[in-house]
Amino acid sequence: MNERFARQELVKICKLLYDRQLTVSAGGNMSVRINDSEYLITPSGRNKGMLEPEDLVLIDSKGKVIGDGKPSMETKFHLALYNANPDTNAVIHCHPLNCVTLAVRAEGMKCNITPEGVILLGEVPMIGYYTPGSKQLVDAVAEKASYRAILMERHGAITQGRSLEEAFNRMEELEFQAKLQLICGDVTDLPAKEIKKLSKM
C-alpha cells in the first residue's frame, strides 16, 4: 500500500471510530500495514478524532520509529497480530462503552445470537486483565491471534482485518453485539446447524 494513501485512509477510519463513539479522547490505537516491513500506527496520547495524516507514526517490523513521532504504547501487540497473521493488514483497538461494560463484568461475548455476529465475528475470547503496554498483555493477545476480535478484561476490544474497512466493520459489529447482549439479557444462541452454515459464508 502507498504510504500517503495509507495515512489518509487510517486517519479517515480514526475519525469514523471517534464519530461513531467507538473510541473517546486519547483512548485506543489503530494501525495499518504498508508492506512486509513497515506499518503506520496512531501516536501516543492523541485524540483519534483530531489526527492529521502527518501525525501518524511510521514504524518497522520491530517497532522502531522511522522518522519522527511517539507511537502508541500498545505497538507491540499490533505487531504480534501482524506477525501471526500474514493476511491481517489492519488492527483496531478501542474502548467502546458496551464492550467495556462486558469486559468490566468479565462477561463473555455472545456472537452467535444473530447471523451478522456469526459471519463477521465468530467466537470472541476474553483475555484477563494486564497492565496496558505490558509484555504480559502482548503475550496474551498473541495467544488469541487467530480470532477476528478479542475482548480485554477491564480494558477494551481489538479487531483485525484484511483491510481497514474490515477491521472497522468488525469493531462496529462487536459493539452492536455487546449492546444487544446487554439489552436482551440471557438469550439462546442460534441452532448449531445454522451457526455452522453461517460460519462458512
| Known catalytic residue at 116 | no
Euclidean distance between CA atoms 68 and 158, whole angstroms? 26
Partnered with residue 39 across adjacent β-strands are: 33, 59
**Active-site hit among 9, 38, 54, 74:** 74
Euclidean distance between CA atoms 47 and 194, whole angstroms? 41
DSSP count for the chain of H helices, then E strands: 7, 7
- C-alpha distances in angstroms, 157 versus 68, 131, 161, 168? 28, 14, 14, 12
126-127 vs 38-41, strand pairing mode? unpaired
Q: Which residues are catalytic?
A: 74
